Amino acid sequence: MHTRERMLIGVALVGITALAWAYFLVPASGGGMDGSMAMPGPAVSLNMLAANVTMWAVMMVAMMLPGASPMILTYTKVRRRRAAQGGAMVPTWVFVAGYLAVWVGFGVLAALAQWLLHQSALLSSAMGKVGPLLGGGLLITAGAFQFSGLKEACMTHCRTPLSFLMTEWREGSMGAWVMGIRHGAFCIGCCWALMLLMFVGGVMNLAWMAALTLYFLAEKLVPYPRMVGRVTGALLVIAGVVVMVM
């Protein structure tokens, strides 16, 4: 039963992630992806902001749920064991909802930043990218953050699901929700700077989205994450300098 439950949850995670990616891959879905969107007045501007909020919220699900899968599956296993010992039986989706709520909140802030950048004519188009000076600055910031203690501390929590759950465990539905939120907060602590690179590659650049998604997943799975992070950081700083100079 335990194996079957984890398989079902795994299939559900794959399905939700696939639907989120389909939002961007299927043209009929719209998704507010028209980079030539005109801005004739306040009403259209606010409609664009609302569309951007939806787009970023779905983007967070598409990009961050795959990397959270090891933690979610481990939570399911630990929750089942504790329930067998008399603990509360809380559905896994409560934990997942807490995690995604944090990232959706980040997406709302990113959508607001995108809207403000476009209003200030700092984006090449409504769904485009920032100019070389700002883009180079974001690359350097993301690269420097790879060397920070905050990055390393948050990554430690994200890479060790069992350790996180043993130290952060809370009983009941509210406990599962809070654990999901805390895991999401640590995840943002790891990835926020890299996520801002969406403004460098283009807000709706699907190849850029896929590359960042795979990198976020790899950071949690590779055997030498610190070395990978520092190599990545150095490359980002160099790329930022090159972009600014050119």
Question: What does the pLDDT read at residue 118?
Answer: 87
Q: What single letter denotes the amino acid at residue 19?
A: L
Rounded Cα distance between 37 and 43, Å, is: 13
Question: What does the pLDDT read at residue 40?
Answer: 42
A 10 A CB-CB count for 60 gives 23
Coil, strand, or helix at residue 39? coil
Rounded Cα distance between 246 and 244, Å, is: 6
Question: What does the pLDDT read at residue 176?
Answer: 94
Question: What does the pLDDT read at residue 244?
Answer: 92
Q: How many CA atoms lie within 13 A of 87 on its CB side?
A: 17
Question: What does the pLDDT read at residue 27?
Answer: 60
A 10 A CB-CB count for 27 gives 8
Question: What does the pLDDT read at residue 44?
Answer: 54
A 10 A CB-CB count for 172 gives 12
Q: What is the 3-state secondary structure (H, E, C) of 181-211?
A: HHHHHHHHHHHHHHHCCHHHHCCCCHHHHHH
- Backbone dihedral angles phi then psi of residue 123, each to the nearest 5 degrees: -105, 145
Tens of pLDDT, residue by residue, the chain (246 residues)? 467 777 889 899 999 999 999 998 886 444 444 443 344 445 557 788 888 899 999 999 999 999 999 999 999 988 888 877 876 778 899 999 999 999 999 999 999 999 889 888 888 877 788 999 999 999 999 999 999 999 999 998 888 899 999 999 998 899 999 999 999 999 999 999 999 999 998 888 899 999 999 999 888 888 888 899 999 999 999 999 999 998
Look-up of token digits 């389909």: 22
Coil, strand, or helix at residue 130? strand
User: Average pLDDT over the chain, rounded to whole?
Assistant: 87
Q: Domain spans of the chain?
A: 2-245
Whole-angstrom CA distances from 129 to 114, 117, 136, 198, 216 are 9, 10, 12, 8, 21
